[in-house]
């Protein structure tokens, strides 16, 4: 009935035939279509298909009132879309925030909208983390936190309360989630620049001191040589070794590897973590060593192109199911490696340790940092430099001892 289009964003009124109420009527909605994705906004009006089809030509008083109500809702969405497109800041999240401004929207609702957006994109890990953020902000501010309440003082209150049970790093991650939504609220015009609480001289998010630790070659050799009488322990130890040797691959990416990803003796993959956030698809290549091939031969599937290398995914899982499988495997690897670490006197060993060890062994061996960055799948060299710097205390201690080695 009503339509609007600007710079790839299309707004229209539709009868949503996907759902029907007890009276046999369907909801009238405002549909916004952008980048091949539709979003629907309810306006509280329901009609039969016959009533909807007759609406443009029916000039009764009741129908004119319905058309005016639909047009009013359509105009609200259209004006919001137009304003965001002209500013170059359109996204479904900024649109939701801008529309929420007219109905007194809150930080709580903005987080819920973000959760739904992430769920629709199958970004389950990030979605679950935003769910934790929602629980945490409601611990402090309740179920209805207006954006105007997010001040420096309010954030400091959150930080103080959360610090009783959470690390600086964890708090920082949740604060960055809040900052993301405040940035979107600012772009959408929901808050003014003067209301923005983050930045120098305002609330500055603290960064925790990294506890990452790469293993030494001697410790790694002990792990490689370790043999258990328990076959399950050996299996998960071998998967840990595969992670280490395969460029410190993330377990999520490892479980999605297929035999078709093996090209000329190399495993080729794209990190799921960065695939959606970078413009250029960055492929990582890991040469299959003798030890990696041994793990594949012993614990892998039959080597057919369409088969996953490891027998944990079937390919028909939902994003949530796939996430649960990955978490289960990581939990089992970490449990077995913790026992091995205790037995070998190394301490706690996790899948993260495998990735950190891959990077530190290369660095300590004099490998160019650009190569390390590329093989880890980092999009910025500075990320790699920060990553490596956070767990090189051992190297600093060694160099300090050199200063008095003559004594």
- DSSP letter assigned to residue 149: G
User: Minimum mean pLDDT among 139-143, 179-183, 314-318, 381-385: which range?
Assistant: 381-385
Q: What is the pLDDT of residue 386?
A: 67
What are the b/e assignments for 346-385, b being 16+ CB within 10 Å? Answer: beebbbbbbbbbbbbbbbeeeeeeeebbbbbbbeeeeebe
Q: What is the pLDDT of residue 346?
A: 93
pLDDT, tens digit, 9 for 90 and up, residues 364-407:
888 888 888 888 888 777 777 766 765 555 666 666 676 766 65
E strand or H helix at 368, and its extent?
Answer: none
- Of the CA atoms within 13 Å of residue 140, those in its CB half-sphere come to 21
Cβ neighbours around 11 below 10 Å, total? 24
Average pLDDT, the chain: 88
In this structure, are residues 235 and 333 in contact, taking their beta carbons and an 8 Å threshold?
Answer: no
pLDDT, tens digit, 9 for 90 and up, residues 229-238:
999 999 999 9
Mean pLDDT of 261-266: 94
CA–CA distance, 108 with 147 (Å, rounded to integer): 9
pLDDT band at 306 (very low <50, low <70, confident <90, very high): very high
Angle (deg, nearest 10), helices 168-187 and 92-101 = 70
In this structure, are residues 207 and 169 in contact, taking their beta carbons and an 8 Å threshold?
Answer: yes
Which whole-number Å values give the CA distances from 282 to 14, 85, 274, 278, 383, in the listed order? 40, 29, 9, 8, 15
What tokens does 305 get?
């192109």
The radius of gyration computed from the CA coordinates of the chain, to the nearest angstrom, equals 27
E strand or H helix at 9, and its extent?
Answer: strand 9-15
Q: What is the pLDDT of residue 389?
A: 64
Helix/strand/coil for 142: coil
pLDDT band at 170 (very low <50, low <70, confident <90, very high): very high
């Amino acid at each position: 009935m009503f339509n609007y289009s600007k710079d790839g964003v299309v707004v229209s009124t539709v009868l949503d035939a996907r759902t029907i109420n007890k009276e046999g009527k369907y909801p009238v909605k405002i549909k916004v279509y952008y980048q091949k994705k539709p979003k629907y906004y309810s306006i509280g009006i329901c009609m039969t298909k016959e009533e909807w089809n007759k609406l443009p030509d029916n000039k009764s008083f009741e129908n004119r009132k319905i058309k005016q109500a639909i047009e009013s809702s359509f105009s609200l969405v259209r004006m919001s879309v137009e304003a965001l497109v002209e500013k170059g800041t359109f996204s479904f999240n900024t649109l939701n925030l801008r529309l929420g401004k007219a109905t007194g929207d809150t930080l709580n609702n903005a987080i819920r909208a973000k959760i739904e957006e992430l769920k629709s994109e199958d970004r389950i890990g990030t979605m679950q983390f935003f769910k934790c953020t929602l629980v945490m902000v409601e611990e402090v501010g309740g179920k209805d936190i207006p954006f105007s309440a997010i001040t420096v003082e309010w954030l400091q209150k959150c930080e103080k309360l959360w610090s009783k049970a959470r690390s600086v790093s964890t708090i920082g991650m949740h604060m960055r989630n809040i900052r993301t939504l405040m940035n979107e609220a600012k772009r959408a015009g929901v808050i003014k620049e003067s209301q923005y609480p983050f930045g120098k001289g305002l609330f500055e998010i603290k960064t925790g001191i990294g506890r990452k630790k790469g293993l030494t070659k001697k410790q790694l050799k002990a792990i490689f040589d370790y043999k258990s009488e328990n076959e399950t322990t050996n299996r998960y130890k071998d998967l840990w070794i595969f992670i280490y040797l395969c460029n410190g691959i993330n377990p999520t990416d490892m479980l999605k590897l297929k035999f078709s990803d093996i090209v000329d003796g190399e495993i080729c993959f794209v990190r799921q973590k960065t695939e959606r956030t970078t413009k250029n698809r960055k492929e990582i290549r890991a040469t299959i060593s003798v030890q990696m091939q041994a793990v594949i031969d012993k614990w892998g599937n039959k080597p057919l192109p369409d088969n996953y290398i490891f027998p944990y995914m079937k390919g028909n899982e939902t994003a949530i199911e796939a996430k649960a499988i990955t978490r289960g495997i990581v939990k089992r690897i970490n449990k077995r490696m913790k026992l091995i670490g205790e037995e070998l006197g190394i301490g706690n060993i996790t899948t993260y340790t495998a990735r950190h060890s891959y990077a530190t062994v290369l660095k300590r061996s004099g490998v160019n940092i650009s190569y390390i960055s590329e093989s880890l799948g980092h999009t910025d060299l500075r990320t790699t430099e920060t990553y490596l710097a956070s767990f090189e205390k051992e190297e600093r201690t060694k160099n300090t001892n050199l200063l008095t080695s003559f004594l």
